[in-house]
Amino acid sequence: MANTDWTFLNDGLDLASVDRGVTAGIPRPPGGGTFLFGFNSLGVAKGAVALFANQANFAPMAKGGSLRGCLQRGPGGGPTGFSPFLFLCGQGTSVNDQGYLLGLSDDDPHRIVLRKGALRAGLPDSEGPGVLLRSSESFAQGTWLHLRLDVVVNANSDVVLSVFRNDLEAHPLGTPPDWKPVAGMPVFIDDQLGINSGSQPLTSGRGGFGFAVSDVTRRAFFDHLELLRQT
């Protein structure tokens, strides 16, 4: 997807707090192209920056979808104080809105985490409020992870959440991915009664990616983003 396919969500941190944009100056994931999209925090400010796909029938999507992308918690001023994430079913055009977030937790080492909550909070840790699932495996800072989140809205309004990972060493970008479930992250049903997650499921909305941060010189990188909608 091109730069013009994305729009920044409202109420995010400004350029004085977090620089962002496309660069060829950072090593890409295996099989990656010339550029990637990066974030770099310039000061101690707590909040998030996020973008959503703005194309017709995607802003918002009438049902769920599938979002895939490569993420990295980049080396910088420290191993904590930030988290990159993908999101689906974002409920509005603000980082204060709710969504399903899949990304890399603000832990050292970090884990793959699925959380339901405000985009602004990102993934504060692997066991905090709103966390639905977390990976059994942990990862070192600077690791590229190719992740996929499927959100399928059933006819009865249950929402089925599935998380997958592609091994980039065996299946680099540019070759067909081999999506496999992430250990410790079974299929999660956000039931229409609001029991499993503690709140009603999110059955429509926007999809995109973002960066939550609370400290200076924290960095995150994204590559090979793909978004499909449920029809």
Per-residue model confidence as pLDDT tens digits over 153-196:
999 999 999 999 999 999 999 999 999 999 999 999 999 999 99
- Looking at 1.20.1340.10, 3.40.50.720, 3.20.190.10, 2.60.120.200, the CATH number of the domain 3-229 comes to 2.60.120.200
Give dist(CA 118, CA 116) in Å, integer.
7
Give dist(CA 126, CA 122) in Å, integer.
11
> Mean pLDDT score of the chain, rounded to an integer?
97
pLDDT digits (tens, 9 = 90+) for 90-148: 999 999 999 999 999 999 999 999 999 999 999 998 888 999 999 999 999 999 999 99
| Single pTM value for the model | 0.97
Contact 207, 54 (CB under 8 A): no
Residue 4's pLDDT is 82
The residue extents of the domains of the chain are 3-229
